[in-house]
Chain A
Amino acid sequence: MYCHYAAERLNNINVLIVEDERALSHALELKLQHEGFTVTVASNGKECLDAFRAQQFDIILLDLIMPLMDGFQLLKQLSKRPRMPAVFVMSSLSQHEDEARVLALGARKFFVKSNTPLTTIVDEVKKAKVLDASDAHAIIKPKV
């Protein structure tokens, strides 16, 4: 079945949600698991870096205002890594400067949480997967 096949493939994709609002991370977690992704939740930047010690993540959904280490600081840390995961920022901030700042730090996209349906975020995550697969393919493809 198509669904089963898709779920199986997405199972290999590790998504990390970094969000301190439990209700919001839970909704995303349910939705992404339903789509077949393997999902881990961290509630601030520090927990995110700890999680990276144990394993690699392909995609990060990142909140900005969080205790201990906020999204901006975390992005700076992540951008120093040899392979930066695809980061989607979802925040309650909506100022132009905030968006410009996270994009400059290497985030792929910026969503204002309250203005974005859950399905839009999930669709972006799915699209990112397809994109990355073709990117990887392009890199691996030997030069003729």
Chain B
Amino acid sequence: MLVPIDYRLTLRWPQTTIRVMDKTKGGQPQDIVTTAKRGAERQDFELASAISEDQAHERNRAVAGWTILSSIGDAVFAIDTSLRITLFNPSAQRISGFSESEALGKRYDEVLKFESEKTWHVNNHFIYEALAGRTTIMSNHTVLICKDGRRIPVANSASPINNASDNVEGAIIVFRDVTKEYELDKAKSEFVSVASHQLRAPLSAINWYSEMLLNGDAGTLTEDQREYVTEIFEGNQRMIALVNALLDVSRIEVGKLPNLPEPIDMAELLDSLKKELTPTINDKRLTFVKDIDALPQVTADPKQLRMVIQNLLSNAAKYTPSGGTITISLRIATDADMAKAKLTSTAPHWYFSVQDTGYGIPKTQQSEIFGKLFRADNARLLDVEGTGLGLYIVKEIVEKLEGRVWFDSIESIGTTFYIVLPLRSREAE
């Protein structure tokens, strides 16, 4: 380890005094007094003794830190506030294919190109967040374009580097190659897809034969028989819904959900979804309120859009007790809506919200609700049916379409889900 120092030699035979000042730390000057050996051509001095213990400790820590950064299996690089790379560890070199000398001092985005895997748009968001003082974990589906043009999936996080006076003086970014995890995930999704198709044949058989029994095709049923067959039929319907949701999830995850945008008649879509919910709305005597002034002209993939809104509406109906109210709002997104959605795009967007007077989501579980197979504790206790996949599907689709979904919820008072999406969603790439 080389340390830049200022020094002054005072030669007064037979003693030599070397005044040493460590430039890196700006510490107090230290004197080394030594006795010169007659006839010696060179003499080594124990420099460590020339610096204070604090400085030595500080220096050892710096050396240890650098050694760790160099040996770590994850890529690490740091940038200053003008986006220039100030540190580029060996793993960053290995993963990206760029050498340290090709990286240091350059703007990071001239060297490392991060893109969103789904949209192929440049993804710089996490770095700007870090420079704004916030630690961010990169969303899934980020790819890095390597020196040789390969696109590899990476997972990363970025944090601000604060100086002693707590000002941000750069950012440090850690990322790793997640190709293996990614392939595993893909294989898993494909397995789900094949297994689900295989499950559908026996489910169809149960569906059709119980339907025939209920229709009296094999003779009139007794009251007990009708009750038991109804249980079989309804249980099977739940299983079919679960298999359908699993298939949707696996299609979303392997990127096989088609995106074919077309103009949507929002009024018709909302009416048909409301009609689907009519049995629940009537059973629970729910009030359904529409707060819509002018319908925005939305262009989106009809199946994807239906999945998003259908999941939000059916959740509201499911998790609201009898006599409750569901209020939907639909409009062109205002600046305030865009700010709440934390979207910076200048393209026109639309806003949709579903408010219910339902059970609410327990505060402690609110961070988990978009996770796969999540069911809130109160929903489980209340024995409300659900697959735990609906909100995961909603979030995946909304984010793929470059929109945002979020919610407010107070237990026993109700929940509001909000989505903001571009008026025109991009064609599939």
Contacts and interface: CB of A to CB of B under 8 A. Distances in A.
A92 interface: yes
A141 B284 CA distance: 55
Nearest to B215: A119
Contacts of B204: 21, 24, 92, 113-114
Interface string A10-38: 00000000000101100110110010000
Contacts of B258: 96-97
Interface in B302-350: 303
B267 interface: no
Contacts of A115: 240, 244
B428 to A, nearest CB: 11
A117 B203 contact: no
17 contacts: A21-B201, A23-B205, A24-B208, A27-B208, A30-B217, A92-B198, A92-B200, A95-B251, A96-B303, A97-B258, A113-B201, A114-B240, A114-B243, A117-B211, A118-B211, A118-B212, A119-B211
B217 A114 contact: no
B211 A24 contact: no
A27 B209 contact: yes
Contact of A114 (B200, B209, B303): B200
Given A27-B212, A115-B240, A95 B256 contact: yes
| Max count, chain A CB within 10 A of own CB: residue among B200, B251, B303 | B200
The number of chain A residues touching the other chain, given as a range, is 20 to 34
Contacts of B150: none
Interface string B182-211: 000000000000000110110111011101
B236 to A, nearest CB: 9
Interface in A87-112: 92-97, 112
B354 interface: no
Interface in B239-255: 240, 243-244, 247, 251
A103 B393 CA distance: 28
Given A31-B212, A118-B212, A119-B215, A92 B207 contact: no
Given A96-B303, A114-B203, A30 B212 contact: yes
A109 B211 CA distance: 22
Interface in A45-62: none
Interface of A: 21, 23-24, 27-28, 30-31, 34, 65, 92-97, 112-115, 117-119
Given A96-B258, A114-B240, A114-B243, A24 B212 contact: no
Interface string B340-384: 000000000000000000000000000000000000000000000
A21 B217 contact: no
A117 B258 CA distance: 26
A93 B244 CA distance: 11
Contacts of A96: 258, 260, 303
Contacts of A21: 201, 204-205
Contacts of A28: 208
Contacts of A112: 200
Given A94-B247, A119-B211, A34 B217 contact: yes
Contacts of A93: 197
A24 B244 contact: no
Nearest to B209: A27
Contacts of B247: 94
Given A27-B208, A95-B256, A96-B303, A113 B215 contact: no
B199 to A, nearest CB: 8
Contacts of A24: 201, 204-205, 208
Nearest to B202: A23
A118 B209 CA distance: 9
Contacts of A65: 197
A93 B204 CA distance: 12
Contacts of B243: 114
A28 B211 CA distance: 12
A61 to B, nearest CB: 13
Contact of A92 (B201, B208, B209, B217): B201
Given A31-B217, A96-B303, A118 B201 contact: no
